[in-house]
Amino acid sequence: MSNNMHDWLNQHGDFLYRFALARLRDPHLAEDVVQETFLAAIKSPSFSGDSAPRTWLTGILKHKIIDMMRKNVREIAASDLMSEQDANMDEFFDDAGRWIEKPMDWDMPENALEQKQFLGVLQNCMDKLPAKLSALFMMRDVHETDNEEICKELNITKTNAWVMLYRARMGIRKCLEINWLGA
């Protein structure tokens, strides 16, 4: 088994690492889940040889990634959760509910989404989110976890979740306008 596992590490390690990095966006966390995956694999009697090793390992990895995200979001202290009121207390709208700074025309060129510059700024903006917002945002918008499931898993209310996602998206959008369009 150990020899097998070393071969698999060489053959599939990079693939698994990229898979994890695409979802966690943090090299250290991605390395950790890959390690946990191999250690879980070696202890698991369930590999029957019916499926390809890569498919089997990826299945384990997916669970490890979700566990990692859960752990990150659980670390949100209860006091950091947001209520309906927090959605309305913001720097984006005036008392009458009008935009203070009106969203600009982004005028996206056709290939903007492939542009390294745009993607680089977007990543920086995501990195700048406060940890509590970031964990939830990664789980929802990057990993596309179902909302109901997030609330159930994390024991937060739907109100907490939508307000936090709203604030995360507002923050990233504003950050993009400032740093990408140079507003």
Partner 1 sequence: MLDCRQASQLISKSLDRRLSWRERLEIRFHLFICKYCKRFSQQLTTMCTAINRMSQSIEHNQDIQLPSETKNRIANAIESTVD
Binding region for partner 1 (CB under 8 A): 1-2, 5-6, 9-10, 13-14, 16-19, 21-23, 25, 27, 31, 34-35, 38-39, 42-43, 87-88, 90, 92-93, 96-99, 102-106, 108, 113-114, 118-119, 122-123, 126, 140-142, 147, 161-162, 165-166, 169-170, 172-173, 176
Query: At closest approach, how far in Å is the CB of 156 from partner 1?
Result: 13
Query: At closest approach, how far in Å is the CB of 79 from partner 1?
Result: 23
Q: Which is nearer to partner 1, 6 or 71 (CB)?
A: 6
Distance separating the N- and C-terminal Cα atoms of the chain: 58
Q: Report in angstroms the alpha-carbon separations of 45 from 4, 32, 42, 53, 128.
A: 14, 22, 8, 13, 42
Query: At closest approach, how far in Å is the CB of 168 from partner 1?
Result: 9
Q: Which is nearer to partner 1, 70 or 118 (CB)?
A: 118
**Distance between CA atoms of residues 86 and 163, nearest Å:** 7
DSSP calls for 157-177:
-HHHHHHHHHHHHHHHHHHHH
Q: Which is nearer to partner 1, 78 or 96 (CB)?
A: 96
Query: At closest approach, how far in Å is the CB of 44 from partner 1?
Result: 11
**Distance between CA atoms of residues 160 and 182, nearest Å:** 32
Do residues 55 and 61 make contact, with C-beta atoms less than 8 angstroms apart? no
Q: Which residue has the tokens 């995956």?
A: 37
Q: Which is nearer to partner 1, 34 or 76 (CB)?
A: 34
With vertex at residue 121, the alpha carbon angle to CA 125 and CA 116, rounded to the nearest 5 degrees, is 145
Q: Which is nearer to partner 1, 70 or 142 (CB)?
A: 142
